[in-house]
Amino acid sequence: MNTHLTSSQLAEWFAGERRHEVLDHLQDCRACQAEVSGFENTLGQFRRSVREWSGAQFDPAAAVTLHQTARLFVRAGWLTAAFAVLLVASVTWHFGVHKSASRQVAVTADDALLQQVDEQISRTVPTPMAPLTELVSWDGKSQHDSAESR
């Protein structure tokens, strides 16, 4: 090959796609070797600086504290959930017992009311008019018929 490697061929080489013709060219061409070597050195320096920076950022004591804090929040979440379940069960039970007792009272009050209504409806004459019933004969004859019979 008389020409140097193209940018796409170099990109393929750095991406891991190693073709035989590119390898052959790199063995013969000092300019392309220098370009590949320079780029690999640059990537290596970048890798080292990232690792050094991340190593300086990582604090093992902070990681342990973070782990302990996370465990504390998980435990607090479970305790909160258990408390909520107990609270709901307690309220449900309380209102269930109270509701059944109030239901019994309501049934008794309803029975008494129905008894009163039944007494009022079953009367032939309303209570305020009861004294008037004594003035009238209720044997099925009218007053006119009773006067004729006298």
DSSP classification of residue 2: -
10 shares a domain with 34: yes
The per-residue pLDDT for range 117-134, each reduced to its tens digit, is: 888 777 677 777 777 777
88 shares a domain with 36: no
- 142 in a domain, yes or no? no
Q: CB burial class (10 A; 0-12, 13-18, 19+) of residue 5?
A: buried
Torsion of CA 42, 43, 44, 45, to 10 degrees: 50
- 24 in a domain, yes or no? yes
- 15 in a domain, yes or no? yes
- 95 in a domain, yes or no? yes
At residue 142, the 3 state secondary structure works out as: coil
**Beta carbons of 134 and 141 less than 8 angstroms apart:** no
- 130 in a domain, yes or no? no
Domain coverage including residue 37:
1-58
pTM: 0.36
The amino acid that residue 130 corresponds to is A
Cα distances (Å, whole numbers) of residue 126 to 36, 132, 141, 143: 117, 10, 22, 21
* Structural domain total, the chain: 2
Torsion of CA 138, 143, 144, 149, to 10 degrees: 80
- 76 in a domain, yes or no? yes
Element (H, E) at 63: helix 60-122
Question: What pLDDT was estimated at residue 30?
Answer: 92
Tens-binned pLDDT, residue by residue, of the chain (150 aa) = 458 888 888 888 888 888 888 888 989 899 999 988 988 898 889 989 888 887 777 666 666 677 788 888 888 999 999 999 999 888 887 777 666 666 666 777 778 888 888 887 776 777 777 777 777 666 655 555 555 554
